[in-house]
Amino acid sequence: MISDGVRTKGNIKFIAVGRALNRDVVASLTVGKNDSAEQYHTAVREVLSAPDFSNKVSPGARYRLVGDVNAFNFTTDPEQRVYIVISAFDYPERLVFPMINELVIKFKQEFGPTSLTCAAGQLDSKARKLFQSLADDYDDPTKRDKLAQVQAQVQGVKLTMGKNLDSMLKNIDKARDIEESSAQLQAQAAKFDEQAKVLKRRELCRKWQTTAMIVVALAIVITVVVVALVGPSVGGATNPPATSPPAGGSVATLTPTNF
């Protein structure tokens, strides 16, 4: 099916895993029902039989051989497994190799050690579900592009949320600093009020002490003045003088007379 110039079905034609050392294909799936599995196996044998194949390919490197109808895409791992996807010649390279990367991870998880020693074709039925799932997921490039777009949007949302979270954390830290500063200012204000009250009490005590001293001084001064004024008046008072007998006269002596 062609939609806006993009093939949406029949893009993934064949999936296989083989061994470079003995050219055996241990698991394979012909996706198209009307396709001949033999033609794809023949293509795989021809590639694996290339002179000095094992030494010419590097583990993890990507290889793509494009023909008039199909494209032969593959990579290898350090154990010399060969992971192959035959696709339509115009199927995007940006999609086929992510598919192969996913194939490498999942196949090694399920069949890693077994795939190194089993007979050719022994894992066909066991790997069928995995191969078919990958074919269904990657066959329609428009769906993969939409999925990639959604994933990019999700990553963008995660990035935005991460930035927002960082901003929130920074704001929380700032608010915490403001609260701590406010608490410190309140403590300092309370301490200042207490010191002001103590100083006020001290000043009031000094005021009363000064007033008392002034009152005492005034009382002493008044007492001194009063004593100074009253003292001479009391000291100048004398007894009345005695009556002197008349000059030249005699003193009559009265003798009691008996009657």
pLDDT in the model for residue 20: 92
Instruction: Say what the pLDDT of residue 147 is.
Output: 52
Do 130 and 147 belong to one domain?
no
Q: What is the pLDDT of residues 186-218, one digit of tens each?
A: 888 778 777 878 878 888 888 888 888 888 888
Predicted confidence at residue 47, as pLDDT, reads 93
Final residue of a structural domain among 139, 168, 199? 139
pLDDT for the residue numbered 2:
42
Does residue 33 lie in a domain region?
yes
Give the pLDDT score at 178: 77
Evaluate whether residue 225 is within a structural domain: no
In angstroms, the CA 28 to CA 14 distance is 7
Residues 13 and 89 in one domain: yes
SS3 92: coil
Number of domains in the chain: 2
d(CA 66, CA 55): 22
pLDDT tens for 138-168 read 999 988 776 555 544 555 555 566 667 677 7
Please state, as a whole number, how many other Cβ atoms lie within 10 Å of the Cβ of residue 13.
22
Residue 237 has pLDDT above 70, yes or no: no
100 contact partners, CB below 8 Å, separation of at least 6? 62, 73, 74, 75, 83, 85
- CB atoms near residue 145 (< 10 Å): 14
Of 139, 172, 206, the position where a domain reaches its end is: 139
pLDDT at 254 exceeding the cut of 50: no
- The verdict on 63 and 119 lying in the same domain is yes
Residue range 115-138: mean pLDDT, rounded: 95
- pLDDT classification of 1: cutoffs 50, 70, 90: very low
Whether 38 is covered by a domain: the verdict is yes
Q: Is residue 42 part of a domain?
A: yes
| Same domain as 191, residue 113 | no
Please write the tens of the pLDDT for every residue from 60-72: 999 999 999 999 9
Q: Are residues 152 and 50 in the same domain?
A: no
- Residue 74 sits in a domain whose CATH number is 3.30.450.50
The verdict on 159 and 201 lying in the same domain is yes
pLDDT in tens, 77-109: 999 999 999 999 999 999 999 999 999 999 999
- Assess if residue 237 is contained within a domain: no
Indicate whether 80 and 7 sit together in one domain. Answer: yes
pLDDT at site 243: 54
- If asked whether residues 127 and 188 sit together in one domain, one would say no
Beta sheet of 63-66, edge-to-edge order: 25-30, 12-19, 81-88, 70-76, 63-66
pLDDT at 253 over 70: no
Structural domain contains residue 246: no
Tokens of 179: 């609260």
**75 lies in a domain?**
yes
The model's confidence at residue 238, banded by pLDDT at 50, 70 and 90, is low
User: Do the beta carbons of residue 71 and residue 86 sit within 8 Å?
Assistant: yes
pLDDT tier, 232 (very low <50, low <70, confident <90, very high otherwise): low
Q: Is there a single domain that holds both residue 156 and residue 86?
A: no
Query: Which residue range is the domain that position 8 belongs to?
Result: 2-139
* pLDDT exceeds 50 at position 246: yes
Query: Is residue 174 included in any domain, yes or no?
Result: yes
pLDDT in tens, 2-47: 444 556 688 999 999 999 989 999 999 999 888 889 999 999 999 9
Looking at the fold, whether 82 and 6 belong to one and the same domain comes out as yes
- How far apart are alpha carbons 172 and 167 in whole angstroms? 8
Q: Are residues 119 and 190 part of one domain?
A: no
Where residue 193 falls (left for φ over 0; alpha for ψ -120 to 50; beta otherwise) is alpha
Place 259 in a pLDDT band, splitting at 50, 70 and 90: very low
Residues 25 and 56 in one domain: yes
